Amino acid sequence: MIREEKEINSLLLDILAANPGKTMGIGISGQETSSTRFANNAITTNGSYDRLDVYVEVFKGKKRGVATGNQLDEEEIRKIVEKADALANVAPENPEAMPLLGAQSYPQVPDLYHRSTAEYSPAKKIDAIIALVGEAKKNKLEAAGFFEMNAGFSSYRNSQGLYYYYPSTRCYFSNTLRSRAGGSGWAAGDEEDVDRLSVDTLGERAKRKALLSASPRPLPAGSYTVILEPAAVADMIWFLMYNFTAREADEGRSCMSLAEGGNRLGEKMVSPLVNIFSDPTLAGLPASPVGEDGGAQKRTAWIENGVIKNLIYTRFWAEKKGRAPLSFPANIIMAGDGKNSLDDLIRGTKKGVLVSRFWYIRDLNPMILLLTGLTRDGTFLVENGKIRHPVNNFRFNESPINLLRNLDMMTRSVRAVGGETGQSALVPGLRVREFNFSSVSDAV
């Protein structure tokens, strides 16, 4: 449910004015989502929902009470505030509680809200899917997928003067095409503005992979040079960033830990080719300007020329360690090489495996960030600079850190959605030495 800023800000101010002397914050958010699913070359479901969320937090020293609701009428909000106040009275003290932030200066980010997405009709989604399914049938393929539109807003104001309101939209499309000969192709994309999303292009990409991957030949597990398409890279980079928390590192619980409570800040940990940063103002991948506790997001280098430059510090842990707070990134960008294409990576490979995407990624050992997962929807043998034929899928046991240590070539960066995380990142395709495929998989 979308509400305009003027209305929401007025309401937030009225709530604070009705509760003088209270140390409190109020958050109001709304969301409208519509989605269409298809499978077996037919649309299966089409639905939509609206939601509105209100939460109130009241602080009494290091005690905090939180109450929620889903209505904006005066009586309902009064009850929510009273409940949060009562809970704050009986809550145990939290020794890690931090005071409310005051007013923040947020970066100017590109438009996150687009009317084209918010008003995209179910009929348009259905027309796009019907065209894709028709193309699949022509090629004797079966199509399945998901097309979603989301529009919403997030707002917050507290008694210390912090305020923000920002609306946003996102469209997401994924499709999987399969052939009776055992081939499978997948492609997905997301955008803030649906006019920048090409369902035809994503359908064509999935179709091409499904046809090329038919009748795979056996290839044994082992250590191979791999060429990872951007969707596979996006998943690996997000899993790496999930482990960039300073507290876990300092407490000896992550791959960023060193002995005796140290962490790897300043260490050259991966290839000097690696530069990873976040920037909410980036036009190709805009992101929320708001970080932890309402703090401002900013451009941040995480890895620079292979060196760990920053870790994520919550406000509590930053104060404990004498550092500035740094929120979890709202977006991820890995700088690529504008000179190379995926074809260039393939041409320069004597023997290797081309991986379209990963699936079902899980942690095995957080101390070395060892992950396991599967290849899926197009895995190919590369020999003497050419794609020779499709091969069976694999289970891998590998670490994103090893992957970034062993990379030797990359493409330009593009916006890609990870098949496992469902999150987009601006990343290149990578060629990586000694990637460990631990076993053959029967997955398609």
Same domain, 318 and 339: yes
- The domain boundary, picked from 142, 176, 210, lies at 210
Name the residue type at position 191.
E
Cβ–Cβ < 8 Å for 376, 178? no
**In whole numbers, what is the pLDDT of the chain averaged over residues?**
97
pLDDT of residue 175: 98
Residues 191 and 230 in one domain: no
- Give the pLDDT confidence score for residue 442 in this predicted structure: 86
- What lies within 8 Å, CB to CB, of 343 at 6+ separation is none
Q: Looking at the DSSP assignment, which residues form a beta bridge with residue 390?
A: 380
In angstroms, the Cα distances linking 378 to 74, 122, 354 are 56, 31, 8
Residue with tokens 């997301």: 190
Domain count along the chain: 2
User: In the numeric block, which tokens belong to residue 413?
Assistant: 């960066």
Round to whole Å and give the CA distance between 285 and 277.
12
**Residue 187 shares a structural domain with residue 261:** no
Query: Structure tokens of 426?
Result: 């601006």
C-alpha 153/C-alpha 170 separation (Å) is 12
Cβ neighbour number for residue 305 with a 10 Å cutoff: 13
Give the model's pLDDT for residue 260: 82
Looking at the structure, tell me whether residues 123 and 268 fall in a common domain: no
- Angle at Cα 284 formed by Cα 307 and Cα 125, nearest 5°? 135
177 shares its domain with 222: no
| Closest CA relative to residue 9, chosen from 133, 143, 125, 162 | 162
Same domain, 385 and 334: yes
DSSP E strands, 248-292: 276-278
Q: Say which CATH number the domain at 106 has.
A: 3.30.2290.10
Co-location of 205 and 259 in the same domain: no
Please state, in angstroms and rounded to a whole number, the distance separating the CA atoms of residues 206 and 175: 7
Task: Give the residue from 210, 238, 270 where a domain finishes.
Answer: 210
- In single-letter form, the type of residue at position 6 comes to K
Query: Do 180 and 221 belong to one domain?
Result: no
pLDDT under 50: residue ranges of the chain: none
Whether residue 130 sits in one domain with residue 24: yes
Judgement on whether residues 146 and 241 belong to the same structural domain of the protein: no
Amino acid making up residue 43 = I
Question: Residue 217 has which token pair?
Answer: 């030949």
Does residue 223 share a domain with residue 193? no
User: pLDDT at position 195, please?
Assistant: 97
What's residue 2's pLDDT? 85
Do 202 and 228 reside in the same domain of the chain? no
- 353: containing domain: 216-444
Which of 190, 210, 230 is at the close of a domain? 210
Q: Nearest to residue 321, comparing CAs of 329, 311, 306, 330?
A: 311
